Copies of this chain bind each other. A is one copy, B any other.
Amino acid sequence: VTLAEVAAHAQVTAITVSRFLREPALVAPATAERIREALERTGYVPNRQAGQLAGGRSNMVAAIIPSIANSIFAETVQGLADALQSQGLELMLASTGYSQEREAEQLRAVLGWFPRALAVTGRRHSAAALALLRDAQASGVPVIEMWDQHADAEGFAQVGFDHEAAGRAVAQHLLERGHRRLAYVDSGVAEDFRARERGDGFAAAARAAGASVLRLAAAPGDAFDAGRAALHSLLGTAPAVTAAAFANDHFAAGALLEAQAGAVAVPQRLAVAGFGDFALGRQLRPSLTTLRPPRQAIGLETGLRLIEAVRSGMPPQGCALPWELLPRQSTADARAGGGSGRRPGPAGAQ
């Protein structure tokens, strides 16, 4: 069913129906009524390809994330979709599997749809991807990098937070509780740059305070199992370590469960901290100290800023979003009487 057929039913021409669809106020009430009926009877569905080709712009925003299956990004996507939907924009999603090569590929694929705006994850891109992003931005397509907030930005707006600072905060938390021999368990995924940066911040803060830091990488495969294995290798090879931070809550939860099974006292023998604030962490005993990233807010804010950029024609603005350190039982101070409450991260315009 095309516009022309609907128009025939309503005894007008196609352009009038098109106009009614976009600006109903511009057609006479009687005509509008006939068009409404015709639309109903024919079950007309506007052809987006044709509309966007003729109009010269799409109503689609493309987002590229590392993994759909990672729940942390699922919430970001949800926030993004919510923001866009309110403006009648559609979301096209692509995932890279944490591969820079696939990022460029996926970028090329979505660019063929000529999206109205672009959201990518992180600030590290292959040369090919970077070139595509720059071209897009140069041709007026707003681009936002999600989840990051770092000085070495490549000229794109960033909506996220500083992962090194987050890592430092976790270290600080452990240092304040008297720990001097720390460990950081990295993600097994080499391309999870943000986890690595949190580790960098963690290590830097610890060393600055005169503490030692052992870094090891989690095994690939099931994250719980990897966390369990990491606990063993930690206790085996570095028995002096008294506190460990993990790249995410799944690793940390695995370690907690293994500690439970092996009668390793947490936090007395080993304090444990995670990242991400996954729902499970609050349920475990001891409950898991973690850092809550603004998972959904990143998506929502990205959406709002892209919309604004589209509307105004100006490049989008980035911003730092606050995270929150959630001290719980797994790092409770064995000497004193527990945690010191919540500690919000920094926020403010870029």
Contacts and interface: CB of A to CB of B under 8 A. Distances in A.
Say what secondary structure dominates the interface of chain A: helix
A190 interface: no
A55 to B, nearest CB: 10
A47 interface: yes
A94 to B, nearest CB: 8
A45 B111 contact: yes
Contacts of A280: 224, 253, 280
B261 A112 contact: no
Interface stretch (A67-75, A230-238, A305-313, A325-333): A67-75
Interface string A212-230: 0000000000111000100
A78 interface: yes
A48 B113 contact: yes
Contacts of A19: none
A114 interface: yes
B71 A78 contact: no
A88 to B, nearest CB: 10
Contacts of A154: none
Interface residues of A, number: 46
Interface string A261-294: 1000000000000000001101111000000000
Contacts of A254: 283
Given A71-B71, A74-B74, A47 B283 contact: no
Interface string A42-83: 010111111011000010000000001101001101100100
A45 B108 contact: yes
A95 interface: yes
A138 B77 CA distance: 33
B284 A49 contact: no
Nearest to A254: B283
27 contacts: A43-B135, A45-B112, A46-B112, A47-B53, A47-B112, A48-B49, A48-B112, A48-B114, A49-B49, A49-B50, A49-B53, A49-B114, A53-B53, A68-B74, A68-B78, A69-B74, A69-B75, A69-B78, A81-B95, A92-B92, A93-B93, A222-B279, A223-B279, A253-B280, A254-B283, A257-B283, A257-B284
